[in-house]
Amino acid sequence: MFSARNRYLFILLLSLYSYINILVTVGERLFDFELNSFYLFGVLTLVVLGVWELNKLVEKQLLNKTTRIHPLIPLFLASMVNVVMVSTISLFALYAILGMPLQFKFDHWKLLTAFGFRVNLFLNCVNAIVFFMNRLKKAQLETEQLKKQTIEARFEALRNQINPHFLFNCFNVLSTLVHKDADASSTFIAELSNVYRYLLYNQENKIVPLKEELAFLDSYTYLLRTRFNENLLIENRISDTSDKIMVAPSTLQMLIENAIKHNVASRKSPLTIVLEREDDYILVSNTLHKKEIKEESTRIGLKNVVNRYKLLTDRPVIVEEIQTHFMVKIPVLQIQA
């Protein structure tokens, strides 16, 4: 609020209101000496201007710092100090202009400081209203964005699984297994069922426990390994599966799907995908063997992961590509007990 574009107009209007209020209540004798309207309005405007501008500087400093204390509290405490400073300087400035001795007179200072405190309280109340209104608007906007990203992520996750290529490959593998190994085909069907069950049960959730996501990945990667055999190596090195550790649903599956979609997986150049924990991140890395002919893609899978995590945490999704590997780090989300 203190950094408002039209703040000088607000300062003038507040000064004018204060002048009229004082004029109606006590007249021009705010102090125990005669003070014409021009000087009275001038000293009131100087107090309002000084308090506003100093509060603006304090507010700008507080916005750049992250503390556990609500920013409005230190702002209000600092604004009280600003009032004392501005009132003292304004009083001595008035003495100098009127040619009065520059002596500290407590009664004069008390009256002007009391006026400054009233103005400051009003400004801080308005600032608090503006602060919480902006926070409410931001929360509402983030909620709407999260809904949109969740819908897109749900669509992308389901699309990746039920697209004709995926179903064709699964049925092709299954038809081969049925003739060769009845037990293996039964297991394949069960794992395929687990994949769809997870997607359907969690499509409404914003976050899920990491251990549930990894259990889902076990079924999903089983289907992939059955299809690719030794052409695809997926190694899960994540051992910490506490109930407090959360991820956005289908995130890891999207990253694995993305790696397979854009890279060659052959006996000569096997595709290796590794999942591991790095501090407060989960790293998904794959060897880089880009396909010469790229598959058709909506190009929203990885972007969707990045945007969803922007709304879930302040820590960003990190995407890196080097000569031999493509790496994506997603932040670990933890819930309090």
Do 89 and 194 belong to one domain?
A: no
If pLDDT is split at 50, 70 and 90, which confidence band does 183 have? Answer: confident
What pLDDT is attached to residue 1? 63
pLDDT surpassing 60 at residue 298? no
pLDDT digits (tens, 9 = 90+) for 75-90: 888 889 988 999 999 8
Q: Which of 72-76, 169-173, 317-321 has the lowest mean pLDDT?
A: 169-173
Instruction: For residue 236, give the CATH number of its domain.
Output: 3.30.565.10
Residue with tokens 């750049």: 64
User: Taking the complete model, does pTM exceed 0.75, yes or no?
Assistant: no
DSSP letter string over 144-192? HHHHHHHHHHHHHHHHHHHSHHHHHHHHHHHHHHHHH-HHHHHHHHHHH
Q: Is residue 240 part of a domain?
A: yes
Number of domains observed in the structure of the chain: 2
Distance of alpha carbon 198 from alpha carbon 305, whole angstroms: 18
pLDDT digits (tens, 9 = 90+) for 32-74: 777 778 888 888 889 889 888 888 888 887 766 766 788 888 8
Quote helix, strand, coil % in the chain, to nearest 5.
65, 10, 25
User: Are the C-beta atoms of 89 and 50 separated by less than 8 Å?
Assistant: yes
pLDDT digits (tens, 9 = 90+) for 191-249: 888 888 887 888 777 889 999 999 999 998 998 888 888 899 999 999 877 778 899 88
The whole domain housing 290 covers 163-334
Do 103 and 174 belong to one domain?
A: no
259 contacts: CB under 8 Å, gap ≥ 6: 271, 273, 284, 286, 326
The CA–CA distances, whole Å, from 40 to 54, 60, 84, 160, 202 equal: 21, 31, 19, 73, 68
Can you tell me the mean pLDDT for 118-129? 88
Q: Is residue 200 part of a domain?
A: yes
